[in-house]
Chains A and B, each alone.
Chain A
Amino acid sequence: MEEISQGYDFPTFPNPLVEIKNLTKSYGSNVVLKNITFQLPRGTIVGLMGPNGSGKTSLMKILTGMINDYSGQVIIDGESIGAHTKAITAWLPDKTYLPQWMSAKQAINYMADFYTNFDKPKALDMLEKFKLKPDMRVKSMSKGMQEKLLLLLTMSRNAEFYVLDEPLGGVDPSGRQFIMDTILNNRPEDSTILLSTHMIYDMERVFDYALMIGDQRVLQYNTVDFFEAAGRDLNQLFQEVFPYVG
């Protein structure tokens, strides 16, 4: 099996959607991301992988404007994080963020109010397909229903960039298939998806690129084909890059 070195030149692109240069983020003395640099191309699905605490969620929060106390440069569609980047980025966090009093229909109206790329008829159609009651309030919904509603709100946007944080976490196999189908069937073709997951086996087939972060830096970043050509599936690569230390 061919050895894949760490620290090779990561791929660059002529007109990247996302450009990150020398990004450093720390929580007090705990440095999570140190001087990382990479680009994300347009129209691809990028799997973001790494062990717990490796900075995946922090990176996603930086890209979506939830964290702004970092150093370095983060550019999306040619602009620093701000109103424009937020308008073209759809973000699915790993927590329910809707106010408890809101009903599913109110949440849809709220999104339609703010995002010009929000497709309200599509959202209402998905609401019906997901068997969610329009007037049901968030506080009355089960965790699974809330997750469906958040997925619906995210994928009803015709965004250029989707940032999906662990959409498959804690979901049974048929649920995982449902979520993946929803994501893949509703994204515009030229959009980019950055999706973090530990379910590498389920996701490998849909990723174009694999981005592995840990030890404060990017450890591996290339096309899935590149890794396959080197004789690794992503599961093997992950175990190689992040060997389990009991």
Chain B
Amino acid sequence: MLGKLLKNEFIQTGRSFVPLLGGAILVSGVVTLLSLGDTIGEGQFIAGMLLNMLLIVLGAVIQVVSMVFVLMNINRSLFSNQGYLTFSLPVSSTSNLFSKFITGFVWLLLSAGVAMGVIFVSFQNYRRIFHHAADMMSLMGNEQSASLQDQLSGMVSFASFGDVLRFALIFFIQIFAFLLLIMMAIIFIITISHVRPFSLKPGFWMFAFAILTGALCVNAIKWIGEALPFIVQMRLLKVSFTNINEAATINLSQMFIAAALSVGLFFLTDLLLKKKISLK
């Protein structure tokens, strides 16, 4: 039954996510095409800079919109009229919850991947644009342009292709556990907001529980990480990059605590779904 639940969940959620992620990939492809070319004028330089800046913004927007989609889908499928369909299915509430969790998590992970991909493409486009601009300057051959060329070359070397790729990989591993936690926190917050007495004002309580759960999770990760030295010692991996050493530390202790919190929230939410649901 879990397979059928997952299939139908992906069909339903895919209706929102496929256009979103597909659109983002398409836009980054178009911007890359526009950034290609052997020669570059002043207008193209500025346009290229702006378009790729928008691509970075798009990367951030994808993440926010994805979370909103996940939140709306879970709220609608569990606690709107559609909940009548969801809760009457001949499956356990744990299976139901698990399917929603896995589906949301996969989409958030894919969104993070696409967002990082879009930002990565943007960086590469910047590198290409700066290279072209520097080449053009060197062709001009005067002192002023030489100085500008030095500045542009400096910008080009802010991160190599390999650096960006490795940074993306480390970042992706790092956020894996945190996306688990974010996904589970979203489901928990929506569920508890629809339990009496909070269900009388679910919108308000959703907001209040989001702040409360967020604060508790952040502090739990910080405090427990510091209080348990053997876990802190798990901070093993450190990868050196050209300019981004600090950002590239994989904090295993935090990942472990985030995953543990996700499991705790899962069972708490499951308990609420089993004992406290009262659909309107």
Question: Which A residues from 169 to 208 make CB contacts under 8 A with B?
Answer: none
Does B90 lie within 8 Å of A97, measured CB to CB? Answer: no
Min CB distance A92 to B, Å, is: 10
Stretch at the interface among B78-86, B149-157, B223-231, B254-262: B78-86
Give per-residue flags for A93-123: 1 if the beta carbon is below 8 A from chain B beta carbons, else 0: 1011111010000000010011100000000
Does A95 lie within 8 Å of B278, measured CB to CB? Answer: no
Does B90 lie within 8 Å of A83, measured CB to CB? Answer: yes
Query: Measured between alpha carbons, how far is A110 from B4 in the docked complex, in Å?
Result: 9
Does B88 lie within 8 Å of A101, measured CB to CB? Answer: no
Query: Measured between alpha carbons, how far is A87 from B90 in the docked complex, in Å?
Result: 5
Does B12 lie within 8 Å of A95, measured CB to CB? Answer: no
Question: Which B residues from 231 to 280 make CB contacts under 8 A with A?
Answer: 274-279
Does A67 lie within 8 Å of B89, measured CB to CB? Answer: no
Closest to A101 in B: B15
Closest to B195 in A: A69
* A-side contacts of B87, CB under 8 Å: 64-66
Does B91 lie within 8 Å of A97, measured CB to CB? Answer: no
Does B12 lie within 8 Å of A68, measured CB to CB? Answer: no
Does A66 lie within 8 Å of B277, measured CB to CB? Answer: yes
Total number of residue pairs linking A and B with CB closer than 8 Å: 70
Most buried by A among B4, B91, B279: B279
Does A86 lie within 8 Å of B15, measured CB to CB? Answer: no
Q: Does A244 contact B (CB under 8 A)?
A: no
Choose one: B84, B92, B196; the contact of A28 (CB below 8 Å). Answer: B196
Give per-residue flags for A57-90: 1 if the beta carbon is below 8 A from chain B beta carbons, else 0: 0000100111111000000000000111011010
Q: Taking A28-B196, A83-B90, A114-B4 as contacts, is the C-beta distance between A97 and B84 under 8 angstroms?
A: yes
The count of residues in chain A whose C-beta lies closer than 8 Å to any C-beta of chain B is 27
Give per-residue flags for B79-120: 1 if the beta carbon is below 8 A from chain A beta carbons, else 0: 001111101111110000000000000000000000000000
Q: Does B44 contact A (CB under 8 A)?
A: no
Does B12 lie within 8 Å of A86, measured CB to CB? Answer: no
Q: Does B197 contact A (CB under 8 A)?
A: yes
Min CB distance A237 to B, Å, is: 31
Q: Does B147 contact A (CB under 8 A)?
A: no
Query: Measured between alpha carbons, how far is A113 from B8 in the docked complex, in Å?
Result: 9
Closest to A68 in B: B277
**In which size bucket is the chain B interface?**
20 to 34
Q: Does A91 contact B (CB under 8 A)?
A: yes
Query: Measured between alpha carbons, how far is A50 from B89 in the docked complex, in Å?
Result: 28
Q: Does A27 contact B (CB under 8 A)?
A: yes
Does B4 lie within 8 Å of A68, measured CB to CB? Answer: no
Choose one: B8, B90, B279; the contact of A61 (CB below 8 Å). Answer: B279
Q: Taking A28-B196, A113-B4 as contacts, is the C-beta distance between A83 and B92 under 8 angstroms?
A: yes
Choose one: A84, A96, A99; the contact of B90 (CB below 8 Å). Answer: A84
Choose one: B88, B90, B195, B197; the contact of A66 (CB below 8 Å). Answer: B88
Query: Measured between alpha carbons, how far is A199 from B83 in the docked complex, in Å?
Result: 28
Query: Measured between alpha carbons, how far is A27 from B278 in the docked complex, in Å?
Result: 9
* A-side contacts of B88, CB under 8 Å: 64-66, 86, 89, 91
Q: 24 pairs across A/B with beta carbons < 8 Å?
A: A28-B196, A61-B279, A64-B87, A64-B88, A65-B88, A66-B84, A66-B87, A66-B279, A68-B276, A69-B276, A69-B278, A82-B92, A83-B90, A83-B91, A84-B90, A89-B88, A91-B88, A96-B81, A97-B82, A97-B84, A113-B7, A114-B1, A114-B4, A114-B89
Given known contacts A66-B83, A69-B195, A99-B85, what 7 new A-B pairs fall within 8 Å (CB)?
A61-B278, A67-B277, A69-B196, A83-B92, A84-B90, A113-B7, A115-B90
Chain A interface (Cβ < 8 Å from any Cβ of B): 27-28, 61, 64-69, 82-84, 86-87, 89, 91, 93, 95-99, 101, 110, 113-115
